[in-house]
């Protein structure tokens, strides 16, 4: 299986512009025969908590239909980040588009302290099955809860992905935590982060992949948008920069 972390520079609150940017990266992933591409936390809007209420949608909103079309046409699974509304509550969600399947959703279970006044926690768990691989999804602060990665391991996951916003000041700790998860549970681990600025944070880039012994296999730079692609069969890495 080939899985890619997509590193993008979001445009604050501009859903159409960000969707166009996603499409460029998805096309690049498809050209490399990637099976699954993971985008960062709230990738379609940027990490803009003060705008989340007005930008939020139901996860089945047709504004995102383009991703299902691309999944179907390119035989690729895509996860994008979006604030979603359900039962009067606001969530940080990863919306999942699989070829030939109904779209799905995973919403963040563990909220950072600055998010608790805006968003609600979910109780969900998400595991994708792709080419005999089991992939668990995490969103940013989820990775700091040991129960989250333990649940992924107990469910038989061999890949753990984290969609994040990590700042230049905060990324160091999370890189260590993700390496530890890979080593402890013998899972491949992948992290997709922003570059540029979002939510008032200077984003760190450095989207990364670890092998199932916890060793860093590859890492993008801080500045550029692009893809970090892992082949889980042979631990080979490809780096593709878009700009």
Task: Look up the CATH number of the domain holding residue 231.
Answer: 3.60.110.10
Q: Which pTM does this prediction carry?
A: 0.97
If one counts every other C-beta atom within 10 angstroms of the C-beta of residue 27, the result is 12
DSSP letters, 3-51, are EEEEE----TT-HHHHHHHHHHHHHHHHHTT-SEEEPPTTTTT-S-GGG
How much is the pLDDT for 242? 92
Distance CA 51, CA 179 (A): 33
Number of domains in the chain: 1
> For the segment 40-78, what is each residue's pLDDT rounded down to a tens digit?
999 999 999 999 999 999 999 999 999 999 999 999 999
**Residue 137, pLDDT above cutoff 90:** yes
Which among 58, 64, 112, 109 has a CA at the least distance from the CA of 83? 58
Q: Considering only CA atoms, which of 47, 36, 122, 118 is closest in space to residue 79?
A: 36
> 228: closest CA among 73, 24, 6, 2?
6
pLDDT at 225 over 80: yes
Tens of pLDDT, residue by residue over 20-47, are 999 999 999 999 999 999 999 999 999 9
Q: Quick one: DSSP state of residue 203?
A: B
Share of the chain above pLDDT 70, in %: 100
Per residue in 111-133, pLDDT tens?
A: 999 999 999 999 989 999 999 99
Give percent of the chain above pLDDT 90.
99
Please report the pLDDT score of residue 243 as a whole number. 74
- Is the pLDDT reported for residue 229 higher than 90? yes
H/E segment holding residue 182? helix 171-185
pLDDT of residue 144: 97
Task: Identify the pLDDT of residue 60.
Answer: 97
Q: What is the span of the domain harbouring residue 55?
A: 2-241
Mean pLDDT of 162-187: 97
Residue 65 neighbours by CB distance under 10 Å: 12
On average, the pLDDT of the chain sits at 97
The predicted pLDDT at position 66 comes to 98
Confidence of residue 226 (pLDDT cuts 50, 70, 90): very high
pLDDT at 178 over 90: yes
Instruction: Determine how β-strand 208-210 pairs with β-strand 188-192.
Output: antiparallel
Q: What are phi and psi of 43, to 5 degrees?
A: -65, -30
């Amino acid at each position: 299986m080939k899985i890619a972390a997509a590193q993008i520079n979001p445009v604050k609150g501009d859903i159409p512009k960000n969707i166009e940017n996603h499409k460029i990266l998805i096309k690049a992933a498809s050209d490399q025969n990637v099976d699954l591409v993971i985008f960062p936390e709230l990738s379609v809007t940027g990490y803009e908590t003060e705008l989340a209420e007005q930008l939020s949608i139901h996860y089945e909103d047709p504004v995102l239909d383009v991703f299902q079309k691309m999944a179907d046409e390119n035989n690729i699974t895509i996860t994008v980040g979006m604030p979603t509304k359900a039962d009067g509550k606001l969530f940080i969600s990863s919306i999942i588009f699989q070829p030939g399947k109904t779209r799905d959703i995973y919403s963040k279970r563990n909220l950072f302290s600055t998010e608790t006044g805006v968003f609600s926690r979910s109780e969900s768990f998400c595991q994708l099955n792709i080419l005999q691989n089991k992939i668990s999804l995490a969103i940013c602060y989820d990775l700091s809860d040991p129960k989250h990665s333990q649940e992924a391991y107990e469910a038989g996951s061999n890949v753990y992905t984290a969609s994040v916003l990590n700042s230049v000041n905060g990324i160091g700790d999370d890189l260590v935590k993700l390496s530890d998860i890979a080593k402890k549970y013998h899972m491949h681990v992948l992290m997709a982060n922003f570059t540029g600025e979002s939510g008032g944070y200077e984003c760190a880039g450095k989207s990364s992949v670890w092998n199932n012994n916890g060793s860093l296999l590859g890492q993008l730079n801080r500045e550029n948008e692009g893809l970090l692609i892992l082949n889980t069969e042979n631990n080979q890495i490809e780096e593709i920069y878009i700009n």
